[in-house]
Amino acid sequence: MQTPDLNLLVTLDVLLAEGSVTRAASRLRLSPSAMSRALARLREVTGDPLLVRAGRSLVPTPRAVELRDRVAQLVQDARAVLRPVEGLNLGRLQRVFTLRASEGFVETFGPALISRVAVEAPGVQLRFVQKPDKDSKPLRDGLIDLETGVVEGDTGPELRTQVLFRDRYIGVARPGHELMKGPMTPKRYAAAAHVAVSRDALAKGLIDDALAQTGANREVTTVVGGFATAIALARSTGLVATVPERHTAGLRDGLVSFELPMPVAAFSVSLLWHPRMDADPAHRWLRASVRDICANPADSL
C-alpha cells in the first residue's frame, strides 16, 4: 500500500475552509494552477470530487462536509505536536513520576522532595520503587523516570548521569555496645559481630578488602540485601553495621555512628535517566529538585 502524502491534509483543510481554489492558493502561497493540481490529487486519493461547481462558486460534497471537521482537527493536532514546548506551568502539571532508589535514600531525602513537590506542583504524584539490582532496562523501557545509585561499569552507556553527592562509609552500633568502650582499632572492629550488606548474599566485599590491608578479618555473622535492614538489625541486636553516611542519615537516629579504623574509599551517588527525557520540561524540573535537595543537607536531614 502506498504511503499517503500527509501534506495533502493541510491543502484539504484550507480548500474546505475557503471553498475556493483561488483563495486557498493565496492562503498557502501557491499558484491557482498548483492548487488545482492539488485538488485533482485529493480527488484521486479520496475517491470523491470534494468540491463541485454550482454557478460561479464551488460547493462541498457530502463527503467533503463529513471530512471538514476531522481534517481541521488533524491539522491542528499535527501543528501542536510540531510546535515548540510552551513554558512549564507547575501549578497545572498533572504527572506521575517513578523513582527507583534505595530505602535509605528515600527515607533521607524523600520527605524534602515530597514537600517541595506538594508546594510547587500539587498535581504531581511521586512513586518510589525498590532497587533490587542495577539493571538499566527499566530506564530504557520508560518504566521508571529517575534512578539514584553508584555508577559502575555495568551501567548502560547510553544513560545520562549526574553526581548528586559524595558519600563515605561509617560504622553503626546500638548505644552501650562493647565496641564503644575502648579505642577503635582495626582488630577490635574486626572482632565484633558484623552484619554485611550484599545484593548477591556475599559475606566478603569492599570493607573486608580494606580491613585485610591492616591484617585483620571481620566476623560476619549475618548478610542482608540492603542498608536499611542492616541498620534495623544493628538497632535490635549486638551486630555492627557499616553503611554510607549521608545515604542513611534518615535511618540512624538513636544509634551510635563512628569513624572506621581503616581507610575506605569514598564514592559518588549519582542521578540516572534516559536521554529521551533530556528536553522534557517537567522531567528537568524534577531532576533539578532532586539535585537541590541532595546538595543542601539542611533541607533533607
Helix axis angle, 281-295 to 103-120, nearest 10°: 120
Helix axis angle, 62-82 to 7-18, nearest 10°: 130
> What's the confidence (pLDDT) of residue 167?
94
> What's the confidence (pLDDT) of residue 156?
63
Helix axis angle, 7-18 to 32-46, nearest 10°: 110
pTM of the predicted model, to two decimals? 0.68
CA distances for 298 relative to 15, 35, 259, angstroms: 63, 66, 22
> What's the confidence (pLDDT) of residue 175?
95
Q: Check if 7-82 and 90-167+268-300 are the same fold.
A: no
Per the prediction, the chain carries an average pLDDT of 89
* pLDDT tens by residue, 150-181: 887 656 667 899 999 999 999 999 999 999 99
* pLDDT tens by residue, 67-102: 888 888 888 888 877 766 667 899 999 999 999 998
> Which CATH number is 90-167+268-300 given?
3.40.190.10
SS3 category, 32: helix
Q: Which helix (H) or strand (E) holds 34?
A: helix 32-46
pLDDT at 299 over 60: no
* pLDDT tens by residue, 15-74: 988 889 999 999 999 999 999 999 999 999 999 999 998 888 889 999 999 988 888 888
- Cell numbers placing 237: 541486636
> Which CATH number is 169-265 given?
3.40.190.10
CATH 1.10.645.10 holds for 7-82: no
Give the residue extent of every domain in the chain. Answer: 7-82, 90-167+268-300, 169-265
